[in-house]
A and B are shown apart, each in its own frame.
Chain A
Amino acid sequence: EVEMVESGGGLVQPGGSLRLSCAVSGFTVGSNYMSWVRQAPGKGLEWVSVISSGGDTYYADSVRGRFTISRDNSKNTVYLQMNSLRADDTAVYFCARDLSTGNYNYYWGQGTLVTVSS
């Protein structure tokens, strides 16, 4: 059974850093495309980043240069390192897994809330 559990969210001051984790079971992160998607309170979904099975990484313009996606195959975990955080980064952050090319974000975690505020 596939399970994806995000953690690491919390309250952080503007300019600060936070690392989110997505621990998975039922499949291996190193063999799949894994994404981070966020949703600001009362707002829509925003694609943030993806790491391919080959390790290539891609980012939304809004986070490029500040956020870094990575994975640890030995821990079967995907991370999102978030630096230089701003108030508009406040959101629930979901991790998601693609099933195949064109079949995106098939599995979702329940999300972790990040609040950027002084």
Chain B
Amino acid sequence: QTVVTQEPSLTVSPGVTVTLTCASSTGAVTSDYYPNWFQQKPGQAPRPLIYSATKKHSWTPARFSGSLLGGKAALTVSGVLPEDEADYYCLLDFGDVRVFGGGTKLTVL
């Protein structure tokens, strides 16, 4: 069974740059897995942020960026704001199944 791993939690101060990662138990994450990133705040449905590893939606703030880094998918937030406090999930496409990572709880203190 394929497992997708994210940092369970990260705590940062406002204004810093933070990178969340998404790893696959099958090996290196490549663009072939079409990494997608979602942000979820309490009581809300997830909101798409990044698709196909690096592409932003029209509503994605410029401070969010996606990349492939060291065999993982990565979501970088440059200049974290208090409103970025949320849960972040990556999603990988393995062809016949899709798998979400366990999520990263980003706390901004």
Contacts and interface: CB of A to CB of B under 8 A. Distances in A.
A47 B91 contact: yes
Contacts of A37: 46, 100
Interface of A: 35, 37, 44-47, 50, 58-61, 94, 99, 101-106, 108-111
Interface of B: 1, 34, 36, 38, 40, 45-48, 51-52, 55, 57, 87, 89, 91, 93, 96-103
Contacts of A50: 98
Scoring B40, B47, B98, B102 by chain A CB atoms within 10 A of each residue's CB, the highest score goes to B98
A115 B97 CA distance: 25
12 contacts: A44-B100, A44-B101, A45-B91, A47-B97, A47-B98, A47-B99, A94-B45, A101-B34, A102-B51, A103-B52, A104-B34, A108-B47
B46 A45 contact: yes
Contacts of B97: 47, 58-61
Contacts, number: 67
A108 B46 contact: yes
Given A45-B89, A47-B91, A105 B46 contact: yes
B99 to A, nearest CB: 6
Given A101-B34, A104-B34, A104-B51, A46 B100 contact: yes
Contacts of B36: 102-105
Nearest to B35: A102
Contacts of A108: 45-47
Contacts of A94: 45-46
Contacts of B47: 108
A112 to B, nearest CB: 12
Contacts of B91: 45, 47, 104-105
Contacts of A101: 34
Given A45-B38, A45-B40, A61-B1, A104 B93 contact: yes
Contacts of B38: 45, 105
The 6 closest A-B pairs by CB, nearest first: A102-B34, A102-B52, A44-B103, A108-B45, A103-B51, A47-B98
